[in-house]
Amino acid sequence: MALADTRTGSSEPPKVSLLYNPALRSVLYQVVTLVVIVGAVWYAWNNVVQNLARANMSAGFGFLNSRAGFDIAQTLIAYSSDSTYFRALQVGLLNTLVVAAAGIVTATIVGLLIGVGRLSNNWLIARLCTVYVEIFRNIPPLLVIFFWYLGVLALLPSIRTIFQHLEENPDAIFFISNRGIYMPAPIFGEGFGMVVGAFVLGIVAAIAFTIWANARQRATGKRPPVLWVNLGLIVLFPILVFLVMGSPLSLDYAVPGSFNMRGGMSIGPEFLALYLALSLYTASFIAEIVRAGIRGVSKGQSEAAFALGLRGGHTTRLVVLPQALRIIIPPLTSQYLNLIKNSSLAVAVGYADLVAVGGTILNQSGKSIEIIAIWMLVYVSISLITSLFMNWFNAKMALVER
C-alpha cells in the first residue's frame, strides 16, 4: 500500500502554488480586467451624476418620453411635433440608415465601374477614371456635400419656374427643382400583393432553374438558356399577373400647391446632396481598392484560364474576381464604415439624420451626456453589425484550405 502510494505520488506533477496554475491564471486575469472595466465605467457614471447634480441638472433617460415639440421635414415613419423625443430619434436613425444604405450601394457600383475603368485598355476611359479618383479622393467630404447642395442643387430651377412650366406643359409629371425631385407616387390597389407574390415566386423559380441548369450542364455539357428563362420568370411573369389582376396600380401626381408641390413623391435636396456626396466620395476609395484587388491577382491566373479555353467573361467571373474579392473585402468594410460615419455630416445641410435630430433634442432638453451616449451607442452598433456581416461575407469568400 505504502509503496503503491509513493509510486502514484511520484508520477503526479510537483505541487506548486495555485497562482502558477495556467488555467486559473488565465481566468484570474480575465476577472481582473472585467473588474477594472466595470469599475471604471461605474466610476465615470457616478462622476457624471455627481457633477450634473452639482450643476443642478439631473441625469437619466426619462426625458425621452417627453413631447418633442419640433417638426422634422424628412420622416419615414409617422411623426409630428406631438411625438416624443424617442420617436424623433427613431426618425433620425431611420434617415441615417437610409442614406447610409443608399450610399453604400451606389458607392460600390460606381467604385467598381471606376476601378475596372482605370484598368481599361481604352486610354480615354482609363484617364477619365483616374481624374475622377484623384478629384474626389482629395477633397474633404464636407466640401463635396456643400458642392452638391449649394453649387449644384441650389442652382436648379425654382419652384415658381416649375409652376410656370406646368402651366405651359400640363402633362409633365417629373420635375427637378431646387426644392428637390418631384415624381408621381404609386398607389397600390387591391390585388397588388399578388403581383409582389408573383415576383417573389419568379425569383425562387429562377434560382431553382439555375441550379437545375448547372446540374444539367455538368451532366450533359449543354447549357440551357438560363438568362432568357430567368428573365421571363422574374420580369414577364409578374407583368402578366399585373395585367390579369386588372392593373391594380394608380399614380398620385405632384401638383402645384400654394408654395410647394402637393402630392406625389419627392426627394429633398438635403438627402440628394448628402447621398451624392457620400456615394461619389467613397466610390473613389472603393475604385482604388477594386483596382488593387484585381491587380493583386497574378497574371498567371488569367493566362492559365485562357490556356484552358475560358472566354474573357468567364475568366473574370470564375477566376479573377473570386480571388480579387479576397483582397477587396477587408478594406471595403472600412470604407463602408467610413461612409456610415460620414453620414453624420448631414447636419451641415439640414438633413434630419441621427446627429441633427439628436443635436436639436440636446439643445431643447439640455441632456448632452445622454444624447452623446446614445449617438455613440448607435454608431458603434451600426458599425459592428456592418462589420459582422462583412466578416461573414469575407469568411465565405476566403480561400478554403483543405
Partner 1 sequence: MAKKIVTALVGAAVLGFGATASQADTLSDVKAKGFVQCGVNGSNLAGFGAQDSQGNWAGLDVDLCKAVAAAVFGDATKVKFTPLSAKDRFPALQSGEIDLLARNTTWSISRDTQLGFDFRAVNYYDGQGFMVKKELGVKSALELSGASVCVQSGTTTELNLADYFRSNNMDFKPVVFEAQDEADAAYNAGRCDAYTTDASGLYSIRLKMANPDDHMVLPEIISKEPLGPAVRQNDSKWLDIVSWAHYAMVAAEEFGITQANVEEMKTSANPDIKRFLGEEADSTIGADLGVPKDWAVQIIKAVGNYGESFERNVGEGSPLKIARGLNAQWTKGGLQYAPPIR
Binding site for partner 1 (CB under 8 A): 28, 31-32, 35-36, 39, 42-43, 46-47, 50-51, 54-57, 69-73, 80-81, 150, 154-155, 158-159, 178-179, 257-260, 262, 269-270, 347-350, 352, 356, 359-360, 362-366, 368
The CB-of-160 to partner 1 minimum distance in angstroms stands at 8
d(CA 206, CA 382): 33
d(CA 11, CA 6): 9
Locus of grid cell 475622377: 132
The CB-of-39 to partner 1 minimum distance in angstroms stands at 4
Report the amino acid identity of residue 120: S
Q: Which is nearer to partner 1, 175 or 336 (CB)?
A: 175
Q: Which is nearer to partner 1, 191 or 359 (CB)?
A: 359
d(CA 401, CA 68): 56
DSSP state string for 66-85: SB-----SS-SS---TTSBH
The CB-of-145 to partner 1 minimum distance in angstroms stands at 11
The CB-of-43 to partner 1 minimum distance in angstroms stands at 5
Q: Kindly give, in sequence order, each residue whose CB lies less than 8 Å from that of residue 288, ignoring residues fewer than 6 positions away.
A: 115, 133, 137
Distance of CA 114 to the CA centre of its chain: 19
Q: Which is nearer to partner 1, 184 or 366 (CB)?
A: 366
Q: Which is nearer to partner 1, 288 or 353 (CB)?
A: 353
The CB-of-73 to partner 1 minimum distance in angstroms stands at 5
d(CA 90, CA 87): 5
d(CA 232, CA 237): 6
Q: Which is nearer to partner 1, 80 or 334 (CB)?
A: 80
Q: Which is nearer to partner 1, 260 or 338 (CB)?
A: 260
The CB-of-31 to partner 1 minimum distance in angstroms stands at 6
Residue 198 CB: number of other CB atoms within 10 A?
Answer: 20
d(CA 74, CA 141): 22
Q: Which is nearer to partner 1, 32 or 235 (CB)?
A: 32
Q: Which three cell numbers stand for residue 269?
A: 435636396
Q: Which is nearer to partner 1, 39 or 197 (CB)?
A: 39
Locus of grid cell 449617438: 375
Q: Helices 368-397 and 321-342: crossing angle, nearest 10°?
A: 170
The CB-of-141 to partner 1 minimum distance in angstroms stands at 16
Residue 312 CB: number of other CB atoms within 10 A?
Answer: 10
d(CA 328, CA 333): 9
The CB-of-376 to partner 1 minimum distance in angstroms stands at 16
The CB-of-275 to partner 1 minimum distance in angstroms stands at 17
> Assign residue 247 a region: left if phi > 0, alpha if psi is -120 to 50, beta otherwise?
left
The CB-of-56 to partner 1 minimum distance in angstroms stands at 4
d(CA 221, CA 241): 35
Q: Which is nearer to partner 1, 261 or 305 (CB)?
A: 261
Closest CA to 61 of 375, 382, 381, 374: 374
d(CA 369, CA 332): 33
Q: Which three cell numbers stand for residue 68?
A: 418633442
Q: Which is nearer to partner 1, 42 or 174 (CB)?
A: 42
